[in-house]
Amino acid sequence: MKTAASPELHDLVAKLRSRPQPDDPTIDQLRAGFEALSRQFPPPPEGRFEQVSAAGVPAEWVRLPDSPEAPVILYFHGGGYCIGTAVTHRDLVARLCRASGARALSVDYRLAPEHVFPAAVEDGVASYRWLRKQGIAAQSIVVAGDSAGGGLTLATLLALRDAGDALPAAAVCMSPVTDLAKEGESMRTKASLDPMVQPASSAAYARRYIGGGDYKAPLASPLYADLEGLPPLLLLVGTSEVLLDDSTRFAEKARAAGVAVELEVWDEMIHIWPYFAAILPEARQAIDRMGAFIRRETA
């Protein structure tokens, strides 16, 4: 998507690059750092957040005062499968609810390294089935996520398809992680442009998550799965991301398998730029785009 990058984007990139980065950070430092970043983007005051156990998986309902009972966004937060929570993503999820006219179930799936693959996928499947048991029709559900949460969105769809479950109406992925083997060319070519993710740190998150397993296992790296039969997908990714090729290669393979895929590549956008909607106009535009897609697919 051709846009002239806003001054706010340039300011954000400079701020992200200037963040102090400890050498070889511990998982606790990484989690604390992301939580500190999230506190700069508090949720809207009208947002309502209700903790719930979704078949034993911690989650929270995210609503605005006028949120209907359906459609429902099943949301998986990003953070390399190791950091982040439903709380760190409240602003993004609440904004997505507003744009789509939906409520959301934001899931605190188990994180690595304490819980390695396939724990997150098991929690994704369990939370979806819990929604269905609440009487919510599959065609009223859209699964969505950013970064690792985008990868988990796709993995959850694949696991549900393989198990014979009725699939949701659609899925939305922001800068999804689809290849834990890190074989995309953009892992090299975009490293100097990406202020959020670097090849070494991305590979370290993958190692923590896979726990000595197969980096190309289909439910860990959806790029290597048979993609036939998936519901309509919207993928958003920026040209300044080392994970750019995770989206472009996945979209190409999904289309070849007959999946209805809308891939939007946004010029100069950084990893999970919709997260920064409080300060970034392009983020707000992307959220409006995702909201329109969700409205259309659940109409």
pLDDT in tens, 87-132: 999 999 999 999 999 999 999 999 999 999 999 999 999 999 999 9
d(CA 177, CA 78): 9
d(CA 158, CA 207): 22
Name the stretches of the chain with pLDDT < 70: 1-4
Is the whole-model pTM more than 0.95? yes
pLDDT at 19: 87
pLDDT in tens, 9-32: 999 999 999 988 888 899 999 999
What average pLDDT does the structure give for the chain?
A: 97
Q: What percent of the chain has pLDDT over 90?
A: 96
pLDDT at 92: 98
pLDDT at 3: 63
Full strand arrangement of the beta sheet holding 261-266: 48-54, 57-63, 103-107, 72-76, 141-146, 170-174, 233-238, 261-266
pLDDT at 23: 82
pLDDT at 237: 98
pLDDT at 269: 97
Q: Strand 141-146 vs strand 57-63: parallel, antiparallel, or unpaired?
A: unpaired
pLDDT at 21: 81
pLDDT at 146: 98
**Active-site residue set:** 147, 241, 271
Q: Are 274 and 290 in contact (CB under 8 A)?
A: yes
pLDDT at 14: 95
- Strand intervals (E) in the chain: 48-54, 57-63, 72-76, 103-107, 141-146, 170-174, 233-238, 261-266
- Measured CA distances, 245 to 113, 174, 196, 199, 276 (Å): 25, 13, 16, 13, 22
Q: Are 120 and 180 in contact (CB under 8 A)?
A: no
Q: Strand 170-174 vs strand 233-238: parallel, antiparallel, or unpaired?
A: parallel
pLDDT at 2: 59
Q: Which of 82, 111, 87 is nearest to 39 (CA)?
A: 87
Q: Residue 35 has which token pair?
A: 């939580």
